[in-house]
Structure 1
Amino acid sequence: MSITPSIARPDRTRRPSQRVLDYYTSQSSFSTPGRQAMRLDALPFDPASVARTVQGLLIYEHVAEPFYGCPIPAERRAESPIRPVERIIDALMALDRQPLDVARSPERRLVGICRHFMLLAIAIFRHHGVPARGRGGFGTYFNPGMFEDHWICEYWKADEERWALLDAQFDDVFIRNLSISHDVLDVPRDKFPLASEAWRRCRSGELNPQRFGIEFSHLRGLWFIAGSLVRDLAMLNGREVLPWDVWGAQPRPNAKLATSELEFFDELAWLPTDPDINFDRLRHRFATDAQVRLPERVFNTLCQREESVFAG
């Protein structure tokens, strides 16, 4: 087994450079509200308010009916593949013309998944000058004993000079149904191992990779964690794609990884372990390595078709 020896837990006591903070304050091509920017001007931007705003605008597709009593009509399933924030806001306003700080009833919220809660939170933070970025990893708080694929927002907590994890998807309804006891505005790191940590701990034999993935879809294993690694690297480079966008080195479902692939992902996992210290390296790797660089077209595994990365 080949594990990159320089992998270490990130130094969360070290303040990122101003260049890093500035980068994550700038909107990406996915998070920019574009012509809808003025709708974010009046929104509060403390973590609790950001979470509350996002929760009043979006509904998580897979629990809409059991948690909120709101079945999703077939024609509205097309909302969850929307990629850019500008189009997300377009769709929100088509459903309800009220200001974005007015919570919609469940049936008038946009249908999305964890990525949409994450991305809209990032857009609001960045719009108001708060550094924020998307992170891909695995939540321990969905199914006991399992690590479920999940994406959340990492924002800069200026008063404490550290990054914190915000799970904007978890409103009171979610918290009650899943018996969540931790702070969803500052998720403990042990509750949400990032993709790089999941890879390292599974490769070392500490954890079983069959516990990582999407349980209800029976998608789990080391191949799944490898794909999460690539998408987490993309988000750290301002490419907040859809969870089912596949390109480059991402393995096929249930693939048994060859030794060369294991070594490739061992080395790749080092970069997002501490994205602040490795900022220049992860930016360079993403820009120059065709195996991880986001192309203009990806394969959308949900829709089973190749499409423009900005489609939707």
Structure 2
Amino acid sequence: MTGIDYAAAGPLTDLGTVHRAALDDLPEDPVAVCALAHRLVIQPTDAGQLDLPPGRFSENQLRPAASLIRVLLTLDPAPLAAGRPAEQRVIGTCRHFAVLTCALLRHRGIAARARCGFATYFQPGFGLDHWVVEYRLPSTDWVRADPEAMGLSVLANPEALVPGQFLTGGEAWAAFRAGRLDATRFGVHGTENFGPAEIRGNAVRDLAALNRVETLPWDEWGRMDASYQGRTGADYDHLIDTVATTCAGGDPAALVALYKSEDLEVPPALTT
């Protein structure tokens, strides 16, 4: 059976080019690793309140975790475990919180994966585009945690999300198709981008993340652009049904096989 080693790095979480001293003294406890992210990453809206050079805001376009760490080390060469003051954190979205955390967990030999979907705890009644992480110890099932929320007050226990607080793209799609979810209330905060197409897009991104390819939130490939423009039909919806079912099933061989099919595999240009 084809497996997926979630304790090993993927193309965007490989830290092989990072100087070893930068990774000294990282916590061994996965919750502590998750908590470190809010001392290393800052959202663009929060960074906008600081007196930072305009050019720094392009940091949120960086895909590889190693590139995020290079920015951090340029600003401050201290080991990552020391954290950073706000003005010396890398500027990124929830995806960067999740992917940097995922990379550090994998560096520690802890099985980890990023998940793309929607958080229901930022704005009551809405599912907002978001990324979290899952980790698994040898004696546990997958634990879903939100590294970004661990630095906020939106949740009592962001280190262990309970069902319904976060829906992966596939989980949201399955609920929408079953009539349990209003797709017009699922999308990207601060934009007009809400509806089934947003859920389809995150379902595809989540499949890629389960194959250890964690794209940017706005990366598009396959028929995603056509979906956003309302130019896909029932056949594409049926494909997303399969994506949702396969991601929920969690069978590594099925995840790999589906990801390798047409319209779903991330092109090489988006893995660097």
Do the structures match in fold with TM over 0.5? yes
User: Counterparts of 1:169 and 1:37 in 2: how far apart (Å)?
Assistant: 25
Matched, 1:260 2:235: yes
In structure 2, the partner of 1:292 is 264
Runs of 4+ in 1 over 6 A off after TM superposition: none
Q: What is the rounded CA distance, in whole Å, between the counterparts of 2:51 and 2:232 in structure 1?
A: 39
Between the aligned partners of 1:83 and 1:26, the Cα distance in structure 2 is 17
Q: Which residue of 1 aligns with 2:55?
A: 75
Q: Does 1:281 align with 2:254?
A: yes
Where do 1:147-226 residues align within 5 Å?
147-159=127-139, 161-172=140-151, 174-175=152-153, 180-226=154-200
TM-score normalised over the length of structure 2:
0.92
Match of 1:64 in 2: 47
Q: Which moved more, 1:251-260 or 1:224-233?
A: 251-260
Cα separation, partners in 2 of 1:72 and 1:271, compared to 1, 3 Å? farther
Which ranges of structure 1 fall in alignment gaps of 5 or more residues?
1-16, 298-307
- Residue 251 of structure 1, CA deviation: 4.0
- Is 1:128 the counterpart of 2:108? The answer is yes
Query: Structure 1 residue 168: deviation in Å?
Result: 0.7
Question: 1:291 & 1:47 partners in 2: Cα distance?
Answer: 34
CA drift of 1:152 comes to 0.8
Distance 2:249 2:101 in 1: 22
User: How many residues are treated as equivalent by the alignment?
Assistant: 270
Name the residue aligned to 1:233. 207
- SS state at 2:190 partner: helix
| Range with greater deviation from structure 2 (34-43 or 124-133) | 34-43
1:28 to 2:3 alignment: no
Q: Is the 8 A contact 2:213 2:271 kept in 1?
A: no
What is the percent sequence identity of the aligned residues? 31
SS in 1 for 2:42: strand
- Deviation sequence 1:22-74 (CA, Å, 0-9, x none): 70011111101122151224201313321232221111123334xxx435542
Range with greater deviation from structure 2 (243-252 or 228-237): 243-252
Name the Cα RMSD after superposition: 1.9
Q: State the SS of the aligned residue for 1:243.
A: coil
In structure 2, how many angstroms separate the alpha carbons of the residues matched to 1:87 and 1:282? 27
- Cα shift at 1:134: 0.8
- TM-score by length of structure 1 reads 0.81
Q: Determine if contact 1:271/1:281 at 8 Å carries over to the other structure.
A: yes
Q: Pairwise mapping of residues 138-153 of structure 1 onto structure 2 (< 5 A)? A: 138-153=118-133
Gaps of 5+ in 2: none
